[in-house]
Amino acid sequence: MEQWLTQVAPFLSDNLIFTPNTLAQYWDGLVNTVQLVFISLVVGLFLAVPLAVGRASRRVWLNVPIWLFNYVFRGTPLLIQLYIAYYGFAFIDGVQDSAFAFFINDPVYPALLAFTLNTAAYTTEIFVGAIRATPQGELEAARAYGMSAATAYRRVVLPSAFRRALPAYGNEVIFMLHASAIASAVTITDLTGAAYYVYARFYSPFPAFIFVALVYMLLSFVLQGGFKVLETRMLRHLKPA
């Protein structure tokens, strides 16, 4: 390790781009990206569970609005959703003097809103598919043993559906991480924003963007590893002994 450091140190000290200053830029970007993605994923997940239950329901007044919500958010580009949240709301009369002023004064809030609703829509569809794929016999057994519809949902349908949804949800998480790069389009200094800043400052696209690509790759790698561990734990009931 020490030897490696002594070899790398001169390279680092000689280069003009990866100075402590720019590394701090990247670090801020990393923190912003992780916060943005983490918060939207967690809130989106909590929204998606009841939405999926409602969407799987046979009650039309419940499932049609949720279908429409998903249709809109999955049918339009995330970037447009972000632009509407960021540019659009600022144009509403009197918003500057209202309690929602904070929302248009910091681009993080519109970004969080767009990202959260977008991932909620995708996650809802993932869960709905998993709920619908519940083996009918298992549900029947739950009812036959006297479980109420709510208990059967809580004890059988949802635990089984979440496990089935896990691989697809892992995909959505990685997708969301990469999609968050467009936050830089509304002046947020996320990882991509930081990379753009470094590129513009030194006019050297390859180091600036390849470095940030590697950071995204590392993050994806960690997430994929996390889901792999989760899957082996949660899906072991599907593996033969």
Partner 1 sequence: MADSEIPLVVRDLHKSFKDVSVLNGLSLEAHEGDVITLIGASGSGKSTFLRCMNLLEVPDAGDIIVHGEPVAFKQHNKTREPASWKQVERIRSRLAMVFQGFNLWAHMSLIGNVIEAPIHVLGVPRRQARERGMALLERVGLADRADYFPAQLSGGQQQRGAIARALAVDPEVLLFDEPTSALDPELVGDVLAVMRELADEGRTMVVVTHEMDFARDVSSQVIYLHEGRIEEAGAPADVLKKPNSPRLQQFLAPRF
Q: Which residues bind partner 1 (CB under 8 A)?
A: 135, 137-138, 140-149, 151, 155-156, 159-160, 163, 236-241
Nearer Cβ to partner 1, position 178 or 236? 236
Kindly state the smallest distance separating residue 56's Cβ from partner 1, in Å: 18
Kindly state the smallest distance separating residue 69's Cβ from partner 1, in Å: 29
Nearer Cβ to partner 1, position 70 or 160? 160
Kindly state the smallest distance separating residue 155's Cβ from partner 1, in Å: 6
Nearer Cβ to partner 1, position 111 or 156? 156
Nearer Cβ to partner 1, position 106 or 138? 138
Nearer Cβ to partner 1, position 52 or 179? 52
Kindly state the smallest distance separating residue 157's Cβ from partner 1, in Å: 10
Kindly state the smallest distance separating residue 240's Cβ from partner 1, in Å: 6
Q: Which residues contact 43 (CB under 8 A, 6 or more apart)?
A: 112, 116, 120
